[in-house]
Amino acid sequence: MELVNVEQLQELLNNFANEDVYIHLETTNGAYASHFNENVFNAGAFIRNVMLRYELGKVVGEAPHRIGLKLPHGWVYAQGITHFELDEHGRLLMAGHDQSGKLAVALQISRTPFTY
Amino acid sequence: MTLPMERHVLVVFPHPDDEAFGVSGTIATYIKQGIPVTYACLTLGEMGRNLGNPPFATRETLPHIRKEELLASAKAMGVTDLRMMGLRDKTIEFEDDEKMVGMMENLIADTNPSLVITFYPNYAVHPDHDATGRAMIRAIRRMPESSRPKIYALAFSNDSKGVLGEPDVVHNIKESKEEKMGAMRAHISQTAWMLEEMDKRLADGEPEAENWLHFERFYTYDFSKDFE
């Protein structure tokens, strides 16, 4: 993974627009967040291999970046994205790593389903 | 320390590395005593948050890395019967409860253990830990009392000692320290921070004997104080 380059990432987002794609979207504090600190309200969400089609994808803001996908009838967005990669299977992987390197958010787009 | 003889020990945890911190010394000790050990690991820790800093793995490559680490850990402990059960990290509690009990029943039928080591439901912090312990306790509860294996349960929630008291089983695993360090190092993608922390504590003068390199602690599960 590399630090987000806005121009490159924008071009990759454009490449997946207007076709059926599989999405992985995840936000997390980690399962131990409120074990280590009882004041942490532990919330997160996860979807994987949900198929959708977006008409506009945008990367916005200074690092960490925000990514928004506009759908015909809705939206997907992620904030806190720091890194990206087009992997060997042609999948666009985006992730947000916190100050200690731990993953906090992931948004991934693929033309084929991700593994289980 | 020589541990009491067992016919077969079945260890069931949801994540690669769950075995390393709390049980790998015990596993290595059993194996050195010639007791067969089966380690069933339910997932490949696909949702782990440690991907390196700067990241060396992605969400998609992490399971491959952790699978290799799990194999290396098994090797370090001397485990030859390692089973990867193919579930996904952080989803165990959402699986069908009966399917999970069935998986545990199959493992028990297959290995005929005299001792099962797993997590203590409701006192094991991670939802996957609790769900794994829950399924195993349910499977064993359904067995006739006379043929039930003994259960050593791991608990480490902040309230565990307040509610359950001190663990009644304490293994001195000093003689399997090398194997334990081997298991910890095998899972380096996830344990690096823990090993750093240990080095710091030792440098600060904490006696080594105080820490997890010498002792592993379990609760003998008591069905008269069942969790449900």
At B144-153, the pLDDT tens digits run: 999 999 999 9
pLDDT in tens, B87-99: 999 999 999 999 9
Contacts of B92 (CB under 8 A, 6+ apart): B14, B42, B43, B100, B127, B128, B131, B132, B135
Which domain range does residue B114 map to? 9-225
Residues in chain A: 116
Alpha-carbon gap: B180 to the closest alpha carbon of chain A (Å): 23
The per-residue pLDDT for B104 is 98
Q: Is residue A97 assigned to a domain?
A: yes
Interface size A-B, in CB pairs within 8 Å, comes to 62
Residue B210 pLDDT level (bands cut at 50, 70, 90): low
CATH number at residue A28: 2.70.180.10
Indicate the DSSP class of residue A113.
Answer: P
Residues in chain B: 228
3-state secondary structure of B152: strand
Cβ proximity of B129 and B22 under 8 Å: no
Which domain range does residue A84 map to? 2-110
Q: Is residue B2 assigned to a domain?
A: no
- Name the residue in chain A with its Cα closest to that of B63: A115
Q: Is residue A90 assigned to a domain?
A: yes
Question: How many domains are there within chain B?
Answer: 1
Question: How many domains are there within chain A?
Answer: 1
**Residue A33 φ/ψ, nearest 5 degrees:** -55, -50
3-state secondary structure of B116: strand
| B79 vs B140: CA distance, rounded Å | 23
- Which residues of B sit within 8 Å Cβ distance of A? 47-55, 58-61, 63, 86, 88, 90, 125-128, 157-158
| A26 vs B88: CA distance, rounded Å | 14
pLDDT in tens, B32-62: 999 999 999 999 999 999 998 888 999 999 9
Residue B199 pLDDT level (bands cut at 50, 70, 90): confident
The per-residue pLDDT for B195 is 85
Q: Is residue A68 assigned to a domain?
A: yes
Record the tokens describing residue A80, joined without a space: 């806190």
CB contact under 8 A, B53 and A101: yes
Cβ proximity of B210 and B36 under 8 Å: no
Q: Is residue B3 assigned to a domain?
A: no
pLDDT in tens, A39-82: 889 999 999 999 999 999 999 989 999 999 999 999 999 999 99
| B59 vs B45: CA distance, rounded Å | 10
The per-residue pLDDT for B208 is 67
Q: Is residue B90 assigned to a domain?
A: yes
Q: ipTM for the complex?
A: 0.89
CB contact under 8 A, A91 and B60: yes
Residue A30: left if φ>0, alpha if ψ -120 to 50, beta else—which one? left
- Mutation target vs A (from B18, B46, B51; most A CBs, 10 A cutoff): B51
Helix axes B188-203, B62-77, angle to 10 degrees: 60
Q: Is residue A115 assigned to a domain?
A: no
pLDDT in tens, B105-114: 999 999 999 9
Nearest to A101 among B52, B128, B157 (CB): B52
Nearest to B59 among A31, A38, A106 (CB): A106
Q: Is residue A59 assigned to a domain?
A: yes
CATH number at residue B19: 3.40.50.10320
Task: Give counts: helices (H), strands (E), chain A.
Answer: 2, 9
Residues of B within 8 A of A85 (CB-CB) are: 58
CB contact under 8 A, B59 and A115: no
Record the tokens describing residue A83, joined without a space: 């890194």
Q: Is residue A56 assigned to a domain?
A: yes
CB contact under 8 A, B51 and A103: yes
